[in-house]
Chain A
């Protein structure tokens, strides 16, 4: 038997994602270029040109159109894919809401980037935070391997739950850097992900006409939104199950990586049971934090599923600590970081916790070990204001 080690390849993040999408065989791809998403859609266009993928690739004239095109294709029963960043995601916003409200299993990559003004093309999480309340499942990848694996998971979740899924990968840091990664093979995907064949009568087909996107009066609207909310919350159970199943089938043991104490697809926790401090973060900054932590008294909570927000799981872990520092690459202007506010909301029962909020890396500012060390030093206090580092 070949060991997992043999399958590692050194790949650019965008290429790793594009290769994975190729194996996932979407029927329709539509996208519009924006840095740092571009490599992903260029590589897929070349696959199409070379006959390596058997899909329709619709070149759209804007992100708004691209999102609408995958919406239409999904409503007609096709597996679809799109990718964007920053201004592109903002331009899509109206369609993003619509896709979730129509319960379409669209999968999209967001190569996370700051938003304008001032214009800046580098990484932070301002783009995805603008659409966090739209009803999508939002996954965050910390490295290349997670990025590719989360795309496989995304299709399984989307098609099982009729919910759209966005995989967030840090622009440049993941999309343009090289790391060794295993591309999920076609055979693994076939075993894990059934072909997408929605039931007749649930999608646009002349053999069983349906009306999609009807007009809801006050008599019906609230229930529709409440159902979406409840289904999104309930999807946590499915995310955990599917994550576990995928881990089992892919039988992947990451060599040399510290083993998390908790690892369930929603969150990962590294560290002792009763730490002095827990650092919480999303995305690729996790790697820098992991490299920095030397003390045995410090834990690290990595959030992989940001929506639905795994508030209960997070509260359970954080309650065991004295101090919590939430490190994030976004700010809700005029308030605190969005992740911080979400965590505060989840911690209603524990008021004794010292919880502080640290904003880092906006617009691609380097997040160094020195910054993380500074955060660790300053984190034993309650802060009512977000502190900016770097």
Chain B
């Protein structure tokens, strides 16, 4: 498809089969040419802009790890001053840039109610620096700073509920998707942009070295995350949960089917798996899957 190659080109340095790039391509299919992107430091930035090359066909800026939201606010202010109401501003960041170090600046941007689409590619760890744990790392995952060991089951924290944080800011549009469902991603991006106002889309992006999966498994694992109820396809319009694509793809599979595919969970004992199953049940109840 023509636009696919225009906005993000092949030939970048991401791992072959990278879940984040699958998601990025799906996001790009939802955008049009009148878009400016502010990107945080992380895998996506590093792998796509090795100077003097760039994979981006849209105006694109990277400043720092934690300030992409504020940079986007500045871009929007410049567009507003020019009277440009056509150009959309989109932020792209990883979960580290979103849940952790950039958290305060995202809240500032949302407070200002600016018409910016924020996309978080959630690899559930700092992929770029070698899979250290972030506020998004799920319970039981082994990362390089929450390693499993004789006395450790890996991360003992629960994943922070960023969607709830976004909803608390009264965003017009809040959604969750995974690299297992690229068309769902594209549709959500289009919908977010059609509804003017601040919006947040979080996309589970399986990371091969981080999750210890094979390079043909990112999409499959992304699908399992949805089908087990651990990472449902969610969408909130003006704070109201809408059912859109949830029912079709949820199959109430046991979480074990998802966990067992991934090296980061392979050390887990039955009690830990049971606890994670409880988390999935909690999601199922809460979102009436």
Contact = CB atoms under 8 A, between A and B. Distances in A.
Interface of A: 27-28, 30, 55-56, 58-62, 64-66, 68-78, 80, 94-95, 98, 102, 204-206, 208-217, 220
A76 B45 CA distance: 19
B213 to A, nearest CB: 26
Given A27-B81, A58-B77, A68-B67, 10 more contacts: A61-B104, A62-B105, A68-B105, A72-B70, A102-B63, A209-B56, A209-B59, A213-B62, A215-B45, A220-B51
5 contacts: A28-B81, A59-B112, A65-B108, A77-B78, A80-B74
Contacts of A216: 51
A215 B71 contact: no
A206 to B, nearest CB: 5
Contact of A206 (B36, B78, B81): B36
A60 B34 contact: no
Given A65-B105, A72-B70, A215-B45, A27 B78 contact: yes
Contact of A69 (B64, B71, B87): B71
B71 A214 contact: no
Nearest to A101: B63
B57 A209 contact: yes
Given A72-B73, A76-B36, A214-B49, A28 B108 contact: no
Contacts, number: 152
Given A62-B104, A213-B63, A71 B71 contact: yes
A80 B71 CA distance: 13
A29 B105 CA distance: 17
Contact of B74 (A73, A213, A215): A73
Interface in B67-85: 67, 70-82
Contacts of B74: 28, 30, 58, 68-76, 80
B50 to A, nearest CB: 5
Q: Which 5 A-B pairs have the closest CB atoms?
A: A72-B74, A61-B108, A68-B70, A76-B78, A72-B71
A56 B105 contact: no
Contacts of B105: 61-62, 64-65, 68
B36 A56 contact: no
A58 B73 contact: yes
A158 to B, nearest CB: 16
A286 to B, nearest CB: 35
Interface in B38-64: 38, 45-46, 49-52, 54, 56-64
A95 B64 contact: yes
Contacts of A69: 70-71, 73-74, 77
B73 A212 contact: no
A212 B61 contact: yes
B107 interface: yes
Contacts of A211: 49, 54, 56, 60-61
B49 A60 contact: no
Nearest to A102: B63
A176 B239 CA distance: 47
A206 B51 contact: no
A76 B49 contact: no
B59 A205 contact: yes
Given A60-B70, A61-B107, A214-B50, A75 B61 contact: yes
Given A30-B74, A206-B33, A214-B54, A65 B60 contact: no
Q: Specify which of A64, A66, A68, A78 lies most central, judged by the most chain B CB atoms within 10 Å of its CB.
A: A68
B49 to A, nearest CB: 4
B111 interface: yes
B51 A217 contact: yes
B35 A206 contact: yes
Given A69-B71, A209-B60, A56 B54 contact: no
Contacts of A208: 59
Nearest to A204: B59
Contacts of B45: 215
B118 to A, nearest CB: 14
Contacts of B75: 72-73, 75-76, 204
